[in-house]
Amino acid sequence: MKQHWMELVPIDRYIVHSSSILHDFDRNVLTNLYQPLIGSGAFSLYMSLWGELEKQKMWGKDTTHHTLMIMMDMPLQKIYQYRQKLEAIGLLKTYLSEKDNVRHFVYEISPPLSPKAFFDDMILAMFLYHRLGKTKYNQVRSTFLSPSFDTTGYQEVTSSFHDVFESVPPSELKKVEQIELQEEQVFHDRKEENSLQFSSDLFNFDLFYEGLADAVIPKKAITKKIKETIIRLAYLYGVDHIQMKNVIMSALDIDNTIDEEMLRKKVREWYQFQHGNQLPALVERTQPLQYQTMQNKEPATQEEKLIQQLELVSPRQLLIEMSGGAEPSSGDLKIIEDVMFNQKLPAGVINVLIQYVMIRTDMKLTKGYVEKIASHWARKKVKTVKEAMELAKEENRQYQEWAKGKSTTKRATNRQAVRTEMVPDWVNKEEEQQPQETAEAEQKRKEIEEKLKRFQ
């Protein structure tokens, strides 16, 4: 995992460029629709970069990141993290040039989506709904709605251009055509809105195409637009290549073409049928590919095998498995989902947290305890399963005291003669002053961890 100082240092130079004309209305959209998703820090970075553009100008002035650090009163590590958020949500593109050991960045800020485009985007709308809740979401959404104009009973009497203006002589038109733009110049423009970008790795198209022949789905029906939709649906609903093939069959029309809206509807119906009429949630996510350390690797140890399993299963699936197949309670799911959203921890890291906490606390998820460990891991920038396991080993003593609600200053006076708390096998047990688990606790822990082997 790359550190920010490998990508950015204070002396690196940058210049701000706007890919399109920005309007005052964009501030309203950014504040109410984007800020809940990216946070106040990333929002502040965008507004700071926008502020570097002079009025009616598309380019700022060349400067260093140290200047930006001073202006925002913010460390470079935070600026780098917030920059990545803006890039991920489509508000910023970053370009790098390196000459004579001097790095120069161009930060191209893009306007936000229009309210209609934002709420039409199923992923952005879903994440905003999750972040704000139903009541606040509807309130925010209503501020961008207005009554439609019913033209019934009206007749349009608008004047046309030729009714008002006289035709220009051809000789004048020729003069205009002779005025050319200078080289490397473009007009200020309001470009088409940028949508979210997703990697094609999110969906296995090779296996998907192999199954098209059996499903009698013409490959030509998978247009570029449909392909992009499939990737987004796979991300949002967790649909694999087999399920997607079956859904697409129901979305084909008589001309063997795929209607995008129908495809979205069918996938949504499939998901709700599979999950009791519930919409997708963060707890269905699995570890992002960029944070999977065991991808395409054969486990050599039991710990590596466990890491691989925790990278491939969603937090919800892990909860089900650890409870012997029972559906998790809405309260447990809410605790995990809130932690995933608020602390921005990947699914695999959450899995380590679930396993550690549930085995430590007799199969119970205590909100305060979970949130305390999660916030600690977030501050430590934990992104991989292995990092989470290593940190849990290092801080096991501290986490035990958090579970007891005791201060570290009372550690010596409150130490028990016989330790009955259970911990996963991968937790470091080399603490010299702590006796081993009782036989009963050891047996119970092994029974719980045995369930994890079924993930493969």
Q: What percent of the chain has pLDDT over 70?
A: 76
Asked if 46 and 84 touch (Cβ cutoff 8 Å), the reply is no
Q: What mean pLDDT is predicted for residues 438-453?
A: 59
pLDDT higher than threshold 60 for residue 444: no
Stretch 119-130: mean pLDDT? 85
pLDDT at 69: 95
Residue pair 239/202 in contact (Cβ under 8 Å)? The answer is no
Confidence grade of residue 199 (pLDDT, cut at 50, 70, 90): low
Q: Given this model, what pLDDT does residue 170 score?
A: 63
Q: What is the pLDDT of residue 409?
A: 41
Give the residue with greater pLDDT, 455 vs 257.
257
Split at pLDDT 50, 70, 90, the class of 426 is confident
The residue among 439 and 332 whose pLDDT is bigger is: 332
| 447: confidence class by pLDDT, cuts 50, 70, 90 | low
* 69, 76 Cβ separation under 8 angstroms: yes
pLDDT tens-digit readout, 152-168: 899 988 888 777 877 66
Range with top average pLDDT, 74-83, 181-190, 280-289: 74-83
**Averaged over 39-68, what is the pLDDT?**
90
pLDDT value of position 346: 86
Q: Would you say residue 432 has pLDDT above 50? A: no
pLDDT per residue as tens digits for the range 372-398: 899 899 888 899 999 999 998 888 888
pLDDT top residue among 310 and 436: 310
Residues 94-121, mean pLDDT to the nearest whole number:
91
Percentage of the residues of the chain whose pLDDT score is greater than 90: 27
Question: Sorting pLDDT into bands at 50, 70 and 90, what band is 435?
Answer: very low
Q: How does the average pLDDT of the chain come out, rounded?
A: 80
Q: Convert the pLDDT of each residue in 130-154 to its tens digit.
A: 888 889 999 999 999 888 888 889 9
110 pLDDT above the threshold of 50: yes
In angstroms, the CA 440 to CA 456 distance is: 27
Res 436: pLDDT: 47
Check pLDDT > 60 for residue 441.
no
